[in-house]
Amino acid sequence: MKNIKLIVQYDGSRYKGWQRLGDSDMTVQRKLEDVLSKMTGEKVEIFGSGRTDAGVHALMQVANFKTNSELSTNEILDYCYRYLPDDIVVKKVKKVDDRFHSRYSVKRKRYLYRILNHPYHDPFTRKYITHVPESLNIKAMEKAANHLVGEHDFSSFTTAKSKKKSRVRKIYDIDINQEHKIVEIMISGSGFLHNMVRIIVGTLIEVGLGKMNTEEVLDILNKKDRRLAGPTAPARGLFLYDVEY
């Protein structure tokens, strides 16, 4: 049995996220599994590096599946391109070691969040960027973000319901860059809790708008209470940017 690794890009606008759902076929995982199952004549189960939420995009999602099919990697690539919807593209296919697992082998992930900081939204990019009309204080956002770098309990920055699983994660860096009216926030970490990136961004936006001061962010982190952090930023501005193994 071969272990096949895929590099996938997708526009998450019309999907209910990555993870397969029992009551809907509108997930990225389900679309991939349906195509791969037809291709191989087997019931294929595919594993992703992470479960992006409804409306979230991926510039680089990594997935793997196991198959007895004798199809070459090029044949798999061509088949996926032909039969997947236009908003999902498999960019690379590679045969990997049997021990490789797209989720459990991850060492680092990067997420990119894009903000249009301008009085008027752009009708052509509105599905891929969050519009914030009021001016943002980038230096204050950078100062607040520094409090979140390192290994912490991120209970204040997740909507995860289970209290049995650890909420400790390590953030390697948070870079905030502004070019003209586009603000990009790149967050790199060992792993992320449910909605963690979007809540971090929502909190940083509050700081940028002057609705929260930079030191409050450290207090919010230490109190481990989701109610104290900022709102969950919209999904449309978030991209799974890179996955390292």
Catalytic residues: 53
Query: How far apart are the C-alpha atoms of 82 and 11, rounded to whole Å?
Result: 17
Place of tokens 């650890």: 166
Find out whether 110 and 185 touch, Cβ atoms under 8 Å.
no
- DSSP β-bridge partners for residue 110: 188, 242
- At 146, is the secondary structure helix, strand, or coil? helix
In 26-42, which positions are buried (b, 16+ CB within 10 angstroms) versus exposed (e)? Answer: ebbbbbbbebbbebbee
In DSSP notation, 53-83 reads PTT-EEEEEEEEEEE-----HHHHHHHHHHH
Nearest of 142, 150, 32, 12 to residue 80 by alpha carbon: 32
